[in-house]
Amino acid sequence: MTVKPAPVDPTALSRLRQQLHQLGQQYAQLLDRLVGVDEMILGSCFEVYKTCSKPNCCCHHGQKHGPFLALTFSIAGKVRHRMVRHADQQMVKRGARIYKDFQTTRRQLRRVGRSIDELLDRLRSAQAREYV
């Protein structure tokens, strides 16, 4: 029974472990941000300018009515738009901003997770030994 030793550079191994530790902390911080999130509104806010049905109105000659707040979102792969009532504008803007931040943090969490996985592969390669 023989074990073929893996080539190990102690300095590189130490750096690898430090990177894993730092990424683990970053992962935990991102996860905490996601878990503690407030109520979200699915979608993104944007402003709409409209024309009315009055034929002699100035909106038909350049200056449209608005801005009105609208929300765009996707349901079952279809993009939908919904106008926001004036009384709900602040709540919808805040909820949509929280949703956007949630999605951004989620992407960051995935990126960090992939980095951790790559480093773990490198650690395994550095530490794994073949039993011969």
Q: Which pLDDT score is estimated for 12?
A: 85
Q: 100: domain range?
A: 3-131
Let me know if 84 is exposed, middle or buried by CB neighbors in 10 A (0-12, 13-18, 19+): buried
Which pTM was predicted?
0.78
Contact 27/123 with Cβ under 8 angstroms? no
Please state, as a whole number, how many other Cβ atoms lie within 10 Å of the Cβ of residue 118.
12
Q: Which pLDDT score is estimated for 77?
A: 93
Residue 70 vs residue 128, higher pLDDT: 70
In this model, does residue 4 exceed pLDDT 80?
A: no
Q: pLDDT class for 67, splitting at 50, 70, 90? A: very high
Q: What is the 3-state secondary structure (H, E, C) of 69-99?
A: EEEEEEECCEEEEEECCHHHHHHHHHHHHHH
Q: Which pLDDT score is estimated for 1?
A: 54
In this model, does residue 59 exceed pLDDT 80?
A: yes
Question: Which of 3, 26, 6 is CA-nearest to residue 122?
Answer: 6
Domains of the chain: total: 1
In this model, does residue 119 exceed pLDDT 60?
A: yes
Tell me: the pLDDT tens digits for 39-49? Answer: 999 999 999 99
